Chain A
């Protein structure tokens, strides 16, 4: 069970009582304003306690919250969307939603990793874990975007690439490596948004972009906290400790020079006000696309090269740098 969901329960119950009192007060014409005010104050206090300052592990659970808006919900708020399917070789992976879209009137290619909202959906989309076919669909669309000169917009939300027998047989590594390559060579602006969990190479396959946006309670990590705990502490139950060590929060991503922008969430998380969150995200993406729109393909590629070339190069005694056109 997701601990955040547990902690939320009391809050939701309190909210219901406040509503009941309000209804009672209105219909029975009794003055309950003192009681209501007291409960509302308590509600705000608990809310602040729970969500005011979250530990890294709590933020992992916030990123995984079952009610958190998924890629499909962001895509549904675009002005238009025409889904494109399939990798042309094997099958269509439902864990990737991709196609042509209009964002605030701008024609784009959109690609999102789709996590399920309940068990039935999760079975259909393999818990958001993308298979090689999914990554090959992604690569195909990245190449199409470059071909047509359309910007690339991605929504990242996955625990990681699918770790199954079939995925290994069909060369999961090559599939991810090809997505990275396609983004590296792309001649159009690209913006990725980490909306939930950004897990390892399977997330980065959609993330080698000109701009990286993170939602406040999204996470971006080199490895899942459970896997990291199993490897480093030989104990998967030490995931909370691993989560703290991995520096996977949006604040860390800014400090490490990885995220370009963090979008704040309503107190209690994106799911407490989905429409407002989605609106903020789409506005931010559009702002970055508008800024990048006049750039030539050469300028985009050069800036992208420098962006990733310098990440983590801080310790080099002599900083090797590729001199290119400025």
Chain B
């Protein structure tokens, strides 16, 4: 199985990167980039979670290869959108910054021995917003996983529907919902992992349509953006409002998991759902 070049280059290649420092946006501490990577991109001083790039997340999860799906589906400019900058310019600079062609990477790989359809959204590409390409790739992931009778694990990170694609973007909520529904109707298993931030149209569609909804510790999750709510009610919101822990307390999600424990937790959840079907040994590891 061919591994995409962007993924190969990330696997075990950290030492070749030039020494770089990162400043923690939460406590201001200067962190050595390779140390940060070794610590799951969590600040060593204050515990702040840096948002992960999709390729890094995939590397942190898959056992070996990852076969990308839908990479050939690329964005256009259906509305000829211009605000401060033309939409194609924004896409181009995000492509250069992130090395990705869109805000989600989808494909197949093995996690702890279980073969899964895996999707990971990337907040660094247009704020993880869902336009037609994100909708198409997510739908395609569920369709192909359905054909192969495999579970789907989907990591969300999104500011919502992509405004620059107007109503076409809103309709991706409908498209992805249908793909999830068809997949679930066949008795297949879907786990969503909500990471920082998961809001708007993505939270109001496939993020909350999973059988098991996991949230990464500290992630902001909600429908309306924090600023919108503050403007509406004209008061400051408490710090923990719309955090993963807040949602757990209110019964909206199944569990909050710290990043270093995410993979092992997913492997256990996959084992309950498909362990028997995928021939795992009773102790939970796939054979």
Interface residues of A, Cβ cutoff 8 Å to B: 161, 163-165, 167-174, 176-178, 180-181, 183-185, 200-201, 204-205, 207-208, 220-223, 227-228, 231-233, 245-248, 252-253, 256, 258, 304-305, 308-309, 311-318, 320, 322
Contacts and interface: CB of A to CB of B under 8 A. Distances in A.
Interface residues of B, number: 66
B203 to A, nearest CB: 4
28 contacts: A161-B223, A165-B241, A168-B229, A172-B222, A174-B252, A178-B208, A184-B174, A184-B181, A184-B182, A201-B223, A204-B170, A222-B166, A222-B169, A245-B81, A245-B82, A247-B79, A256-B166, A258-B167, A258-B168, A311-B171, A311-B172, A312-B165, A312-B171, A314-B78, A315-B132, A315-B133, A320-B140, A322-B143
B72 interface: yes
Contacts of A177: 177, 203-209
B166 A313 contact: no
B161 A201 contact: yes
A248 B165 CA distance: 11
B247 interface: yes
B28 interface: no
Given A222-B163, A258-B168, A312-B78, 7 more contacts: A168-B241, A180-B174, A184-B178, A204-B171, A204-B174, A245-B83, A256-B78
Question: Which of A170, A176, A308 neighbours the largest number of chain B CB atoms within 10 Å of its CB?
Answer: A308
B168 A311 contact: yes
B173 A185 contact: no
A320 B73 contact: yes
The majority secondary structure among interface residues of chain B is helix
Contacts of B162: 222
A171 B167 contact: no
A176 B204 contact: yes
Contact of A220 (B167, B206, B233): B167
Nearest to A185: B181
Contacts of A320: 70, 73, 136, 139-140, 143
Contacts of B178: 184, 208, 304-305, 308-309
A245 B169 CA distance: 14
Contacts of B250: 169-171
A317 B223 contact: no
A112 to B, nearest CB: 20
A245 B70 CA distance: 29
A185 B185 contact: yes
